Every structure is written in C-alpha cells, then in structure tokens.
Structure 1
Amino acid sequence: MKFKLRQMEVFRAVMLTGTASGAARMLYVSQPAISRLLTHTETSIGVKLFERVGRKLVPTDSAVALFEEVQHVYDAALGVDRFVENLANQSAIELSVSCSPALGLSLLPRAIEMFHRRNPKLRIHFYTTLTIDVPNELLSKKTDLAVTLLPLNNPNLTVETIGTGRIVAAMMGDHPLASRNSISAEDLAGHAVILPAPKIAFGRFIRAALEGMGADITPAFEVPRAELACALARRSLGIALTDEFVASPDIWPGMVVKPFAQPITYDINLIYPKYSARSKAAEGFIQVLRECMQLHEAGKLFV
C-alpha cells in the first residue's frame, strides 16, 4: 500500500491545522518529523499535496480531493473504536440513527428526545443521509437504524413502513393563498413555487405527483434540501412544496402550512439489517419511533 495509515493521519492533521507545526501539536510529535513524512508521502505516491507559502501549507486540488477519501477512512476507524468499546463493556452503550434530511428537523429529534428521557446514559449518534447511501451505512454498521421518506429495495435489509406523511404547501401568513383550507394544483398558477431539485429523489417524487394531478409547474426556485425551500418561503419568496415534517410551523414562525386538496402522501420507512440481531437499545428506539408516529397521526406529536 503506497499511502499508509500513518501517512493518512499526518496528512489529515495538516489539512485540519494548515501548518506542520499545528499538525505536530495535534499528533504530539516534532515539526521536523511531520515535514519529513509529508515530503516522503508526496514522493511515494507521486502527487504534490501542498504548496509551501511561508509557514503555511496550502493544499492543492489533489489534496482537497484526497482529504475527502481519507476522512471516510477516519470515520470508519472511529466506528471500529466504538465497536471495541461496546465489546469491552459487553453491552450497547450507544445507538447510531440516521434519517432522510427532511425528517431530521422535527420527527427524529422528537423521537430522540423521548428515547433519551428513558435512557439518559445511552449515547446517541444522529445524522442525516441520502436514501442512496443508506444500504452501505447499515451493512457496514456505521448506523444501526435508518428512517427514510422513500422506499428502498435491498435483499439484505428489512424495510418496514411505520406511517405516512403528506406533501404540503408552506407559505407566509400574508400570502394570498394562506387563507385557503387546502391548496389545489390550479391554485398555484401565477404564484412563485419553490421545489426540491429533480436531482434528488424527493424532488422527483413531488414532480411526478404534481404531473399526475395534471399540474405543469415551473418553479421559481429549486433547492437541494427540503428545509431550504421553507427558508426561502419564510422570506416571502414563494410557496414551498415539501413534506409536512420539515414544514412544521414550530420550526418556521409566521408560516402557515396547507394540505393539498388532492392528498399527496408518502411512506415513512424504518430500515435495518435483515440478518443482524438488534440491540435492546435499537429495539427501544423502534418502539419510541412507533409511538411518535401514533402521536403524529393523532395530531399530538409536538404538543
């Protein structure tokens, strides 16, 4: 292997600190040792990683690209450390949960709040991820459970539908359509509309649903994440068409949320490895998640 683990560690430290001296302090070694290893690394892999500008080490484009890959390795190593810690304690002392970005602002934080109250000593790792990355993260044990807006097919994963959500129209309270009980596709004509971009699966889902209703909408704004649509709507830039969880009024003061007259719904899916035993912590979190969905359906989730 040309690029050894120690070289990765030093390279990462320099990228984070910007100087050889900073990397030396971070790794508790001498500055000359860092400089020698960097020079050896560039020679052995045949790639120039840094431009020397005074005392600073300015990363090249190659270094920036390499850093992303090294960070993946570093994250995996942290996962191994956590696994070893669990083995040493002979019990699950943490739980890792991921979700679609749109569920990360309200539904999952509420579930984590409820779970934490019952398990205050258990450490929780929580992050958002794209559905396309879920299989690798679950099967590599980076995460224990995932919750997504869209379905996923993988023979090694169990996908369990735990509830449904709706696409809604979110707008400021002074918008001309804010007094309507519901919104139709025809109501949107002549108004600026904000949509998730078609490059993401959720954006394609919303467009397909609108087309099925006979709507031909050209958005005024496209965004890569659902919450950004709400952020623009809150600036009175248009109507955000997004999921009801990210558009929750308690997150966006002053905004109103209207359902579609012809409902557009989607499944909320719990996903976990099919052939791995779940810990008691994972089982407990799944139970809490089901309770959250029951509260949601009863309109009491955020009461």
Structure 2
Amino acid sequence: MAGRRMSFRHIEAFRAVMATGSMTEASRRLHTSQPQVSRLIAQLEAITGLPLFDRSGSRVVPSLDGTRFHAEVERAFVGLTSLESAAARIRAFGAERLRVAAMPRLAGGLLARAVVRFRAAHPDVIVAIHSGDDGTVNEWVATGFCDAALTMLYGEAPEARLEQVETRACVAVLPQDHPLTARTTLAPEDFRGVPFIASSLGSALRSRTEAIFEAADVDLTITAEAGLGASICTLVSGGLGVSVMNPLAAYEEAKVSPIAIRPFAPALPVHFALLFPPDHARGRLMRAFGACARAILLEELAQLPDAANGRPASRPQAARFSAPA
C-alpha cells in the first residue's frame, strides 16, 4: 500500500494547533471535532517522521522540530497569499499597485518616509507596506510577493536582486553608567566576562558577531536574546548587559532609551540595500520608488556621527557617542 501523503487538511490542522496551542480550540476554529484534529496531527507526524508537539494534558507545546516545520509552512503560505494578491491586482486593473517591505525598524520610519515622497510624485499608485524579520522580507522579495524591500544585510541576499546603497559599521551599545563608557572604542576583549544581549539565534548578525568574538578568542557571556533592535536597547538600558548592533537602529533607539554608544572594532559591516525580485523586470514605478528609498536612506545615514558610520572622525569627540537620556 502506498504511504499516506501530506494534504492541505493536515497543514490546516497543524497551523490551527500552532495558533491556539490546543487540539480542542483548533477543532473549534476549523469547525470539526477534536478527535479529527488529533488524527490529522498524528498522521502528519507519521508522514513527516517528526514529533511536532509535546503533549501536556489538554495543552500541546510545539517541539523544536515542530517550530522549524512551522516556519517552513508559513513560508509556503506566503506563496499562496501572493497568488491571491495577484488575482486581486488583476481584478483592480485600473489602479497601479506597489508592495514594499522592510524590517519593523525600517518599515515604520525610513520606508514610510520613502512612500510619502514617492506618493507625492505618483498620487494614483496604491502602496502597501509589509514588515517582517530579515529572513521573511528576503523570502517575500525572492518569491515576488513584494516588489521591493529596504533591508539591512550582514551577509549575502538569497535569490534576490541587490542594489547596495551604503555600508556602515555596527556599534556597541551600553548602559549609560557602564564602566566601559570610559573607552572611546570597544573591542571583543573589552567584553570578556561582561553580560551580553545577543540578537536572535540563527540571525545573520548573531552569526557575524559570534565569528568576530571567536576569532578574538573571547567567549560571549550571553544573558538574553532579542530579535528587534528596540528590544535589545531596552534590555541594555535596563542594565542586563551590552550589545553590538547596526548604527541606524542604535541612534534611533537612543532617542527613547538611556543608552551609550561607542564605535566597535574590528568592523562588523552592515549593508543598507534595496532588494528586488530576481526574475522581474524593474518597471518605471519600481525604479521611481527605488530612487526615493535610496535618497531617504542616504539622508538618514548622513546624519549619523562620523565614527558610527565607519568614517574617520574629523576630530576626537568621545562625548559625541553618549546618547541622550
């Protein structure tokens, strides 16, 4: 007998259980019975060969394999969503549309300002802004779900057309009263034994940071992890540790979080860039939006202190790197 194959019903049940944390709640959401949902999950675990959930009474907790599988499932659903969006755009053929994306920090600031400038010149174009982590944004562009993205890269851009705008060096962020603020520049050796707030495990920034510290033969003393720059700066300002992050986010967060900022060496470069789908011809609208986004990004980067953007400072100004309270 041929083995059972994965179906949409299996994935639908899996997503519902992941969303609700309960077979019972998932069955209500799907308008079916709890035994049917349990049966579909059991079948899916048999098909994949993965223990997707740890059972504890009426609650189910995703296993590590389940969490990883869920990430792949969500990426697949991006493709389905893009087909639905394409059909909607075809139906609304009278209006030109542009879908742009960025990580949350860029989407709420730089990208939104680029859209404002773009719309001033193209008032009839409907622009949709999407935000997600760096992996999700890259996936949206690679699959054509989004027409363009403003992003920060610490490595290569997978399966996307990259238009680099500028490269800067990451900076160290510290509590304002931390002893290391007495130094004008910080190196991995300065962080030996110092509590460190790391970016999310598996992120490009985390990998690059660990590689630099490993090359310096310094073990990171990680006390917390966070995926967003805002969260990292909040933890730093609360005294939980120090960190290394891109300068644009650091100086933006310094406006609301009491942190100090110092140059970090050796340089950990971050590339500010525009991403476009790999197989799509860049039309008039995409070129126009790219020009707006590039101009806004360059204007913002030009306001950073010299040492924070990887350029030699014109004169020593150590106090310049202390963020306002």
TM-score (norm 2): 0.65
In the other structure, the counterpart of 1:246 is 249
In the other structure, the counterpart of 1:128 is 133
Q: Percent of aligned pairs with the same residue? A: 19
Corresponding residue SS for 2:180: coil
In the other structure, the counterpart of 2:221 is 220
Corresponding residue SS for 2:249: coil
- Distance in 2 between residues matched to 1:53 and 1:173, nearest whole Å: 44
In the other structure, the counterpart of 2:194 is 192
Q: What residue ranges of structure 2 are gaps of 5+ in the alignment?
A: 306-325
- Distance in 2 between residues matched to 1:199 and 1:62, nearest whole Å: 14
CA deviations over 1:207-245 (Å, ceiling 9, x no partner): 555677xx5433222636473543432222333222213
CA RMSD of the aligned region, Å?
4.4
In the other structure, the counterpart of 1:86 is 89
- Distance in 2 between residues matched to 1:62 and 1:298, nearest whole Å: 43
Corresponding residue SS for 2:168: strand
Task: Give the deviation of 1:114 after TM superposition.
Answer: 0.7
In the other structure, the counterpart of 1:290 is 294
1:191-210 pair list within 5 angstroms: 192=194, 194=196, 196=198, 200-209=203-212
- Distance in 1 between residues matched to 2:172 and 2:15, nearest whole Å: 44
In the alignment, does 2:177 pair up with 1:178? no
- More helix as a share of residues: 2
- Distance in 2 between residues matched to 1:125 and 1:242, nearest whole Å: 23
- Distance in 2 between residues matched to 1:45 and 1:257, nearest whole Å: 49
In the other structure, the counterpart of 2:161 is 158
Change (3 A) 1:152 1:300: closer
Task: Give the deviation of 1:81 after TM superposition.
Answer: 0.9
- Distance in 2 between residues matched to 1:206 and 1:51, nearest whole Å: 33
- The answer to whether the 8 A contact 2:142-2:278 is kept is no
- The answer to whether the 8 A contact 2:100-2:146 is kept is yes
Give the AA of the match of 2:128. Answer: R
- The answer to whether the 8 A contact 1:196-1:226 is kept is no
In the other structure, the counterpart of 1:117 is 116
Give the AA of the match of 1:161. Answer: Q
Change (3 A) 1:250 1:283: farther
Task: Give the deviation of 1:264 after TM superposition.
Answer: 4.8
TM-score (norm 1): 0.69
Q: What residue ranges of structure 1 are gaps of 5+ in the alignment?
A: none
In the other structure, the counterpart of 1:9 is 12
In the other structure, the counterpart of 1:149 is 153
